[in-house]
């Protein structure tokens, strides 16, 4: 009897196809994980900007632009001789701000405008000197006797103009949910740094409404957030029983934390001496409102808000002791960013197959 030939190739072909697909899927997943690891590691190393950044100069010195060498802070004489005012670009209760020029580079010159607030001005200078880091605008020089401070210039200005900046054609590619979330993370990183600063736990008191908060921070050209105004930064010292009060006037509105509002009702006139002090958890209360501004109304921002709902609800606890720390908020933001980037990348992995 004649034997029928066996078609071995046809027998094994159905098994080989799934094996190839599985191998491709495995390679795609490994590549995706490697990409995510490199991307997030690079991002966190820039975001988790340690207090003593190795790229910073020694105390009393600065590096400017692409210059590698550190220079001493400019003195009164150097500022008077080498800095030229160009135009006034802002004025607040404490100081007037001038766009200026030093050695053909744009800089910012701030000068006291109200002599009654010179203590606030000098406190801001003290904080600026002591807190130099990747979280704080770079100090270039100062003159105490003339109440003058010289700092680095950032052309994108304060965070108040963020939405307008993101609608400029040059920056439209930055107007995404993940870039906006990264800015919110930068902001929380600054708060975390202030709460664990080299000087101790500092409270950002110039923050009675959203517009005021945004005016205290700068947007850098590479889209990071720096704190710029440190005039109102009191110290909390629990071991010494020292809490703070942000000013001597009554604070109102839902933006400020409950403990910052007059607790004795409308029938009792406000008296500063009777107002109880509070701690740094007032900054935590404001994080959801500031982050909501950062997230805006771009595609995907509502998904981010949904993932941040629980941590933001915790930030709004009436009892300050029940609110998370800035570090806990930052950790949650990082987890959400990692999760959402991974989810966004998975459809691309499926398309590769």
Distance CA 10, CA 296 (A): 57
pLDDT at residue 36, rounded to an integer: 58
Q: Are 150 and 123 in contact (CB under 8 A)?
A: no
Give the number of C-alpha atoms closer than 13 A to the C-alpha of residue 190, restricted to the C-beta side.
Answer: 29
- DSSP annotation of 240 reads G
Q: What is the pTM of this model?
A: 0.84
Q: What is the CATH number of domain 154-346?
A: 1.10.510.10
For the chain, the domains span: 71-153, 154-346
pLDDT at residue 35, rounded to an integer: 59
Average pLDDT for runs of 10 along the chain of length 353: 50 54 62 58 48 72 86 96 95 92 96 92 96 96 97 97 96 96 98 97 96 96 96 92 94 97 95 97 98 97 97 98 98 96 70 48
Distance CA 310, CA 294 (A): 18
What element of type H or E holds 235? strand 235-236
pLDDT at residue 300, rounded to an integer: 95
Q: Are 187 and 283 in contact (CB under 8 A)?
A: no
Architecture of domain 71-153: 2-Layer Sandwich (3.30)
Distance CA 256, CA 13 (A): 69
What element of type H or E holds 89? strand 83-91
């Amino acid at each position: 009897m004649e034997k029928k030939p066996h078609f071995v190739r046809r027998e094994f072909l159905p098994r080989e196809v799934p094996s190839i697909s599985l191998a491709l899927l495995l390679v795609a997943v490994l590549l995706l994980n490697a990409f995510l690891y490199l991307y997030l590691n690079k991002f966190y190393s820039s975001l988790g900007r340690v207090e003593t950044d190795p790229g910073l100069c020694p105390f009393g010195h600065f590096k400017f632009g692409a210059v590698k060498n550190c220079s001493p802070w400019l003195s009164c004489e150097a500022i008077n001789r080498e800095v030229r005012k160009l135009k006034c670009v802002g004025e607040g209760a404490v100081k007037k701000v001038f766009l200026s020029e030093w050695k053909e580079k744009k800089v910012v010159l701030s000068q006291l405008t109200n002599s009654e607030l010179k203590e606030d001005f000098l406190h801001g200078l003290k904080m600026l000197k002591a807190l130099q880091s990747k979280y704080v605008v770079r100090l270039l020089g100062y003159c105490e006797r003339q109440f003058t401070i010289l700092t680095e210039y950032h052309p994108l200005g304060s965070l108040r103009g963020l939405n307008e900046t993101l609608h400029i054609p040059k920056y439209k590619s930055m107007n995404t949910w993940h870039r906006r979330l990264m800015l919110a993370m930068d902001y929380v990183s600054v708060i975390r740094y202030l709460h664990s600063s080299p000087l101790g736990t500092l409270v950002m008191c110039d923050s009675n409404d959203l517009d005021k908060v945004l005016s205290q921070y700068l947007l850098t050209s590479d889209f990071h957030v720096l704190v710029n105004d440190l005039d109102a930064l009191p110290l909390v010292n629990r071991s010494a029983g020292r809490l703070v009060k942000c000013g001597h006037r009554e604070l109102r509105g839902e933006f400020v934390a409950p403990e910052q509002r007059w607790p004795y009702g409308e029938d009792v006139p406000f008296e500063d001496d009777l107002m109880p002090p509070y701690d740094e958890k007032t900054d935590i209360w404001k994080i959801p409102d500031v982050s909501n501004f950062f997230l805006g109304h771009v595609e995907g921002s509502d998904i981010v808000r949904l993932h941040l709902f629980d941590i933001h609800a915790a930030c709004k606890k009436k009892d300050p002791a029940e609110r998370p720390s800035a570090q806990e908020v930052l950790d949650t933001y990082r987890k959400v960013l990692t999760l959402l980037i991974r989810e966004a990348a998975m459809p691309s992995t499926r398309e590769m197959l």
